[in-house]
Structure 1
């Protein structure tokens, strides 16, 4: 509707003035007419018209003004209603969080009192730094502490426990501190009892052992609390049981893969039963045995072949006599004849010359040649021969590898023959009787040991063995396909076999899987007292956790939160929390399925309403050159951003570079003895077990002297690079490079299945291992307080092109002194 003001009527023009006579007459006449109430017709109409027009105009004007005002006010009061509600009905969300939104009740007064007590009771060198206090006083549900080598994390963790227990009143049974090995657990318990004693707080060894656990010792009681499993034993601790039912191995190194006799007996019994009940398994084993025992072919262009092919005819002429000599040796050793092998001196033509077999295995349709056992006298010769028997035998083997087109089993020694004998005789309780090398592994292992190793890796990644195998693929003719199909059959049978024992047996991997995120209903069967110790978790070395452990932790935290306040009635410690301490640069167990991913992505993996992040950058162990050298080696590996350690301990005042030199055992021994005689603690680290034997020849006097001393007075230790983590010495000697030597097709596949590795990377595991060799060198270097010597060999052949940590050494930096290529007298400095 338009709100324009209407136009008014035009005003009338006034009439002309009459003469006065007429006006007088009109007035008199008008008064008379008025008395008579007479009306002039034209005047009436004229007046009416004028009045109408004037009234109409005034009415319009007044109506417009009043209407305009009233209409404007009415318009302002009109409410426009918009309905923005969704068409769909509301659906409540799923509360799947790990933690409540809560805070530790840490008041300024309490913090001040605790700091004063620490200052009064701990020595000056043990006083926490600002970053350590941030860790100790973290009040959020989750806390991530990045603690590099020598960062003093143990003391900080002990003070954190003291704060919770003594100053906040948290019950010990609501807390768990997790360490990875028995040794680290023992050291931490001793430190904890010592510090509590400074506050005059009684903490018995039993209480301390209950508080400080390994993951394995914490999962076992959960399983035993279930109906029917109160006496369950862990497969990994079979043979280590003690009187009373305790298990000595429950806190052993989780990365120790050695199989003892008690475990092997169960493996073999399961193998025997499955071999007799599963035709497909028996078929697979026959194929694996044939592949494992058969002599491996050698390219005819190989230098060894080219060197020995020239003596083919000469070797053929003495072959029958060589066979006689070797058979006599085997007969004298009680190793020949072998049941299941038909003695048969059949011949085969090699480059136009005739050579002999020793026998034939009908079951495998393969020919057998006996070898020269290494335990025999290496100088033993045939009468009148120039070469020893072992050399003649090696020539024959090379020729067979290059030119024999028949399947040949080459029995290297008496022990291998004994295992084969048991297997061929149907004595399956003795095991398969042959070794197998999975592609990507450094060496062959007894078949069942290889099964255990592969299954352990798969399960540590949080995968089911059968499901993982079903997701693998191999090229046509690849015998690893047979291996993993056999593993899938065997592993299911083994789990059933172990559970059928009395009392039942279960692997730790199986225990963790039962209470992981895929089986949350199992956690609901646990009584509150079994789950409550996991309410407030403090985990050391968190960079070494596996996907399987992460799944178990998250499932437990989620279940604790689900149970709510009812779980904590009458307790001071409420809710749940997680504090993890680690260093992604020290993650060195990827070959067993661990990954630093969960520590590097802590806030993403353990989502919390709020998280405290602490960076402990002070290094109280080493001087700056050692720190800088180690960090330079590892800098190309993915890492948490912003890490840079600084030396703060007594060693910081006298930095000397890390010395890198060509491997020389004699020089290493002299350097080591110099430091030992100076009264320093010394650590020798080696990569291969054979290196320990090699260097022992040069250190025998030192080894004898150390053996005569009480353990507390010994200053020399020999360790692998891996086992040295967490330890330190004044002088550290590193023997051997850190090198990635293999490619593992199956581990790359299951790595992808577990969601590890970079997206789109078909070799995620292998590339992760290339980073891990750098971290391993970092761990070794940072064991040193004052001096570090690194003896590295010059790689040859294919190894020269493989990744190795020593290529990261930069002799132009002050933290390194690279003596490779120096004169011998210089290298002995």
Structure 2
């Protein structure tokens, strides 16, 4: 459409100009006519025509331009109205990924060359499977490898490191391989050096140890780089003889809760100071001591009471003599008398019969009775008595628990009595001097040990102790409320006390928290060389990682990405990557604060532009029936879908033999174990409790004597707990004891929910997780077996029969089980 102006009126010829004289006369005449308001007709028409012509042209031009502009604006307004975009200003989206969008530079030619080299240098039985090659060649920033028992993951990881270092030129100081246990680290380092040697690569032992680490040895140098912390010691390594700085290479066990004398000394010194400085803490300790020392009541209808109440009168008749015998034992042990306890032989009436006490605790108005120390011979008897002193003492204790209505302190052993004596004497450096049992724990522990265990669990979940305690709640009158109030006061003081030492001391949990997601500013203080080893992480046993560790890993990876290319200038290893290997069926450290959640929800925990998942379903260790039986035991536990292992390699050629399940019989178990050992097989004896090891030892003594006389590399017998056996194997495995969750933990349920673990709406989230974990523990034990597995379980009885047991999953109708219970 044309935008030209419309045509105007016809143009008129302008008049000729007059001579000057006539112009002057016309001007004078015109002025006169103007004053008279006279009009000249021809002049009017001439002026009107000229004005119309000019006005019309100017008006049309101005109207056209103005109209065109207004029309364009009107059209533009219609477009805006019809646009579907939001009216608010656009903002770039936030990238929450922990990795850049990059890929490992693996060409088809390089893969072909590496495969050819592996085929040439490694024996046939060590050649990777298709799934293992997928792990080795994963080129995405994050990789999750689901590797069941016996999946051959170690060789795959070693080849992955070889690929990165030798074929892509990645610097070793840009990588870290993380293992959880001392044995697995040692084995991996040995394997790594062997494979590198096949490629004529000299990897010194020191370099291998620097590459293969524990989480703890990686965090310590980070903290030591901060001003004032250059000589920092880890609380967990106090008392260990090692050179300065040696902790960075130490093989620490993250699941070892035992305290040594050096650690106790620091705990006790802090306790002394808090007791003196905090009246509320002193009040709490006094209340906890009274409650902890008092003998716990027993229901008169309890079977033990009903059995022993029948001999009440007989027990009372021999009681004074029994008191004499026990006092003599205590006196000989140097544990009696005790300062702060007034010796006396007062009597207490039980169901019409009179029994004796040995003293009164000053200040608490409570009777004191001395017990029979476990270190004394269980066969020790009074002259002429039919029962052992231990049995007589047990009868008296049961009667007091059921029928004594007065405050009563029963001192069970010499050691606890000596700790109490030191505490009563005002020696606070000796510690509180009494034990406390947190609800849900299986046994009481010295109070400060109980503090350390509870605080460690809370911190492993990524929580701060004081804030977690403030968020907890307990029923009125529950002594655990006092325990956790005291813990909050003590733990804050302990952290300050440890930092005040020279050199300063800090727990590993606090180190991880310093560089976790809640403290990203601390990571910014680290120089590139300290952060660089975390750039390319390969983590084994990832199902046992804790929320605290996950937070540190995420924060570290985010900081590496934030620093960008400047961190990698002049280096072949660029960006960052994470490869995690694990098996959710082998997650067995939930009682310590670990959770398989982060492995099962890997892509959510570690968001990445691209992720690779690898399923290693080949089992190169066990024959198929062992595999099938083990997987049947965990079928009721939540798991990553699609897992079904298959015996592969030499294991596929082994003859099948079902897992045999028996009623518990230590003698029969021992006999079968001896038979397998005499055949020249490797044998593993697994037990649930330390006391079980003592019970079985007399039945396998001949094997123990022979095996212990051999050089270490020729020994074929291992005795381990179910937990410590993970990662190991034997031709024949013997399991003594069921896997059962025997308790419920109110405080752990609370902090589990605070940490965001468990299913929504589950008030007993930790208990639920533990019920699932007992199944996984049995799976771990069974999958240690190459050819044979024998499981002896105690029959369910009483209240324990109602609790979850792994053996309830045994199905004798299945070919892979032979259920011989009750036969």
Q: State the TM-score, normalized to the length of structure 2.
A: 0.88
Q: How does 1:162-177 map to 2 (within 5 A)?
A: 162-177=162-177
- 2:705 aligns with 704
Shift in alpha-carbon separation, 1:387–1:592, aligned structure 2, 3 A: closer
Q: How does 1:570-649 map to 2 (within 5 A)?
A: 570-649=570-649
Q: CA deviation at 1:404?
A: 1.5
Once the two structures are superposed, what CA deviation does each residue of 1:103-154 show, in whole Å capped at 9, x if it has no partner? Answer: 0111111111111111111111111111111111111110011111111111
Q: Is the 8 A contact 2:221 2:248 kept in 1?
A: no
Q: Is the 8 A contact 2:209 2:249 kept in 1?
A: no
- 1:258 aligns with 258
How far apart in 2 are the matches of 1:328 and 1:712? 49
Q: Is the 8 A contact 1:340 1:421 kept in 2?
A: yes
Q: CA deviation at 1:303?
A: 2.7
- 1:135 aligns with 135
1:780 aligns with 2:778: no
- 2:792 aligns with 791
1:307 aligns with 2:339: no
Q: Is the 8 A contact 2:217 2:248 kept in 1?
A: no
How far apart in 2 are the matches of 1:174 and 1:391? 64
- 1:687 aligns with 688
Count matched residues: 748
- 1:354 aligns with 354
Shift in alpha-carbon separation, 1:377–1:761, aligned structure 2, 3 A: closer
1:662 aligns with 2:663: yes
Q: CA deviation at 1:728?
A: 0.8
Shift in alpha-carbon separation, 1:320–1:561, aligned structure 2, 3 A: same
SS at match of 1:345: coil
Q: Is the 8 A contact 1:237 1:248 kept in 2?
A: no
Q: CA deviation at 1:430?
A: 1.1
Once the two structures are superposed, what CA deviation does each residue of 1:226-283 show, in whole Å capped at 9, x if it has no partner? Answer: 1111100100011113134413883222101111111111111111111111111111
1:759 aligns with 2:760: yes
How far apart in 2 are the matches of 1:310 and 1:811? 43
SS at match of 1:732: strand
Q: Is the 8 A contact 1:660 1:791 kept in 2?
A: yes
Once the two structures are superposed, what CA deviation does each residue of 1:629-687 show, in whole Å capped at 9, x if it has no partner? Answer: 11111111000011111111213221211111112112212211221121111111111
Q: How does 1:119-268 map to 2 (within 5 A)?
A: 119-247=119-247, 250-268=250-268
Q: Is the 8 A contact 2:218 2:248 kept in 1?
A: no
- 1:814 aligns with 815
- 1:42 aligns with none
Q: CA deviation at 1:206?
A: 1.1
Greater Cα offset, 311-320 or 750-759: 311-320
Q: Is the 8 A contact 1:240 1:249 kept in 2?
A: no
Greater Cα offset, 677-686 or 383-392: 383-392
SS at match of 1:788: strand
How far apart in 2 are the matches of 1:391 and 1:173? 63
Q: Is the 8 A contact 1:809 1:816 kept in 2?
A: yes
- 2:427 aligns with 427
Shift in alpha-carbon separation, 1:708–1:320, aligned structure 2, 3 A: closer
How far apart in 2 are the matches of 1:117 and 1:311? 81
SS at match of 2:80: coil
How far apart in 1 are the matches of 2:171 and 2:772? 42
Q: Is the 8 A contact 1:240 1:248 kept in 2?
A: no
Once the two structures are superposed, what CA deviation does each residue of 1:442-500 show, in whole Å capped at 9, x if it has no partner? Answer: 11111111111111111000001111111111111111111111111111111111100
Greater Cα offset, 787-796 or 586-595: 787-796
Q: Is the 8 A contact 1:623 1:649 kept in 2?
A: no
SS at match of 2:503: coil
- 2:561 aligns with 561
Q: CA deviation at 1:313?
A: 4.0
How far apart in 1 are the matches of 2:536 and 2:248? 26
Once the two structures are superposed, what CA deviation does each residue of 1:160-189 show, in whole Å capped at 9, x if it has no partner? Answer: 111111111111111111111121111101
Once the two structures are superposed, what CA deviation does each residue of 1:59-99 show, in whole Å capped at 9, x if it has no partner? Answer: xxxxxxxxxxxxxxx99x98853353543233344333200
How far apart in 2 are the matches of 1:559 and 1:598? 20
Greater Cα offset, 81-90 or 607-616: 81-90
How far apart in 2 are the matches of 1:326 and 1:545? 49
Q: How does 1:310-321 map to 2 (within 5 A)?
A: 310-321=310-321
Q: How does 1:361-440 map to 2 (within 5 A)?
A: 361-376=361-376, 378=378, 387-440=387-440
**Higher Rg:** 1
How far apart in 2 are the matches of 1:609 and 1:125? 36
SS at match of 1:292: helix
Once the two structures are superposed, what CA deviation does each residue of 1:520-544 show, in whole Å capped at 9, x if it has no partner? Answer: 0110010111001111111111111
How far apart in 2 are the matches of 1:294 and 1:187? 50
SS at match of 1:247: helix
Shift in alpha-carbon separation, 1:511–1:731, aligned structure 2, 3 A: same
Greater Cα offset, 800-809 or 398-407: 398-407
- 1:82 aligns with 80
Once the two structures are superposed, what CA deviation does each residue of 1:46-69 show, in whole Å capped at 9, x if it has no partner? Answer: xxxxxxxxxxxxxxxxxxxxxxxx
Q: Is the 8 A contact 1:286 1:364 kept in 2?
A: no
How far apart in 2 are the matches of 1:707 and 1:248? 33
Structure 1's unaligned 5+ residue stretches are 1-73, 823-829
- 2:111 aligns with 111
Q: Is the 8 A contact 2:220 2:248 kept in 1?
A: no
Once the two structures are superposed, what CA deviation does each residue of 1:554-609 show, in whole Å capped at 9, x if it has no partner? Answer: 00000000000000111111110101111111111001000000000001111100
SS at match of 1:785: strand
How far apart in 2 are the matches of 1:757 and 1:416? 38
How far apart in 1 are the matches of 2:556 and 2:667? 54
How far apart in 1 are the matches of 2:463 and 2:302? 42
Q: Over aligned residue pairs, what C-alpha RMSD do you find? A: 1.9
Once the two structures are superposed, what CA deviation does each residue of 1:306-327 show, in whole Å capped at 9, x if it has no partner? Answer: 3333444444444444434433
Shift in alpha-carbon separation, 1:692–1:331, aligned structure 2, 3 A: closer
Q: CA deviation at 1:797?
A: 1.4
How far apart in 1 are the matches of 2:141 and 2:469? 38
Q: CA deviation at 1:363?
A: 2.4
Q: Is the 8 A contact 1:622 1:649 kept in 2?
A: no
Greater Cα offset, 363-372 or 541-550: 363-372
- 1:60 aligns with none
How far apart in 2 are the matches of 1:534 and 1:336? 57
How far apart in 2 are the matches of 1:408 and 1:744? 27
Shift in alpha-carbon separation, 1:726–1:562, aligned structure 2, 3 A: same
